[in-house]
Amino acid sequence: MLNRLSWPLGIFVPLPLLAGLLIAVAGAGERLDRENLLIYRDGQGRILPVRSVADWQKRRSEILAGMQQVMGPLPGDEKRCALDVQVQEEVDCGSYVRRLITYASEPGGRVPAYLLIPKQALAGKEKMPAVLCLHPTDNRIGHKVVVGLGGRPNRQYAQELAQRGYVTLAPSYPLLANYQPDVRKLGYESGTMKAIWDNIRGVDLLQSLPFVKPGGVGAIGHSLGGHNAVFTAVMDERIKVVVTSCGLDSFPDYYGGDPQRWKPGQGWTQLRYMPRLANYQGRLEEIPFDFPELIGALAPRHCLIVAPLGDSNFRWQSVDRIVRAASQVYQLYGAADRLQVEHPDCGHDFPEPMRQKAYELFDSVLKAGRKATTGSRFNDGSAMG
């Protein structure tokens, strides 16, 4: 079990305290090394070695504060309203039913989503595990792509998991396709934090269903969905296993650090991501959180990262450095076998063998009576695709 010095779902830091922590982090001095996760800053500002999980939780808290310094604060109970699920459409898909729904993630905000339910679950024969399925960037059909309703191939993981016996929820991402919330009016500093909150409420929804197996859910996503899954899982420890495909590299490595990518409204700085990141143009090393720390913050939960050799968005070499850094924390927990990276020889894609590997990981973690089979692996870079 994770040490509760972290900020899991349901333990919300009061805004005055959070503001104080963010100020403290911002003024604490030099940013801690993003790839040396076994150091932390104590209450006196001294940098000390991590010798225990309790020490690591102090570093983890600083990472979460850094995220919120850029993304804006994680909402709390003031936004947790009745879900008020409304079914817009229901389609019989053979072994499962596909429902187009909306749910209230907060007062004045409703999220469109697809809910796929195996018929065996609806029949009440047994409770099924659940997976949050987060879609890649698609400004035409949005979340439809992950349920098999068009778009690029190799994105239909919500559909395939439902066919495999999972209840899957595929919410829309804010400011794409048919979902255009006024994130500023709703009180958010970034589309990223709005998406995180929508996803957390999606986990609330899944856990409220009588046919969903209790004890936690999985999360999977490609590209946009890949980093969206990581961000959400860092903030919500009910997510027990994370699969991220083509979703990340270290911020200084993004497109080789090209400064044009960090201008306001470009890349990571768009409103649907994190506009405050534009403030770090030319000083990317100062961004107060990064993916080595985020993947470390998932420990000791299971994580599979798919980083193709030919991905032009996110570099596999950077991903290997991320995994090496995060492995320090997994080893601290005695859970090194729960972090895995794969390098298929393809471009920015989520090929079928990788999806099958992801589904097998979900089976091993979320379905009872089966042993997890994961392991840390690194590509030596000899076969660049």
Residues 126-173 pLDDT 10s: 899 999 999 999 999 999 999 999 999 999 999 999 999 999 999 999
- What six digits make up the tokens of 138? 């698609």
Alpha helices in the chain (DSSP H): 15-26, 53-71, 119-122, 157-163, 191-208, 224-235, 291-298, 316-332, 352-366
Using CA atoms, how far apart are residues 148 and 350, in angstroms rounded to an integer? 14
CB 311 within 8 A of CB 343: no
Residue with tokens 């089976």: 363
Question: What pLDDT is recorded for position 30?
Answer: 87
**Cis peptide preceding 300, ω within 30 of 0:** yes
> For residue 283, what are its two tokens?
């000083």
Read off the amino acid at residue 269: T
pLDDT score of 379: 32
Rounded to 10 deg, the angle between the 53-71 and 291-298 helix axes is 130
pTM for this model (two decimals): 0.90
The phi and psi torsions of 142 (rounded to 5 degrees) equal: 55, -125
Task: Kindly report each contact of residues 212-217 with a partner whose C-beta sits within 8 Å and lies 24 or more positions away, as own/partner.
Answer: 212/121, 212/127, 212/128, 212/129, 212/130, 212/167, 213/127, 213/128, 213/129, 213/130, 213/366, 214/127, 215/240, 216/240, 216/366, 217/129, 217/130, 217/131, 217/132, 217/366
CA-CA-CA-CA dihedral for 307, 311, 313, 319, to nearest 10: 30
- Residues whose CB is less than 8 angstroms from the CB of residue 366 and which lie 6 or more positions away in sequence, other chains included: 129, 130, 131, 166, 213, 216, 217, 218, 240, 241
| Gap between the Cα atoms of 176 and 56, Å rounded | 36
Q: Decide if 160 contacts 125 (C-beta within 8 A).
A: no
Q: Give strand pairing partners of 115.
A: 99, 169
314 neighbors 306 (Cβ within 8 angstroms): no
Partners of 134 in the β-ladder: 221
The CA-CA-CA angle for residues 290, 178, 68, to 5°, reads 25
For the chain, what's the residue count?
A: 385
Q: Which residue positions in the chain have pLDDT lower than 70?
A: 1-29, 368-385
Measured CA to CA, the distance from residue 272 to residue 125 in angstroms comes to 41
pLDDT at 125: 82
Amino acid at 240: K
Strand partners, 111: 103
271 in helix, strand or coil?
coil
DSSP one-letter code for 173? P
User: Coil, helix or strand for 115?
Assistant: strand
Helix (H) or strand (E) holding 100: strand 96-106
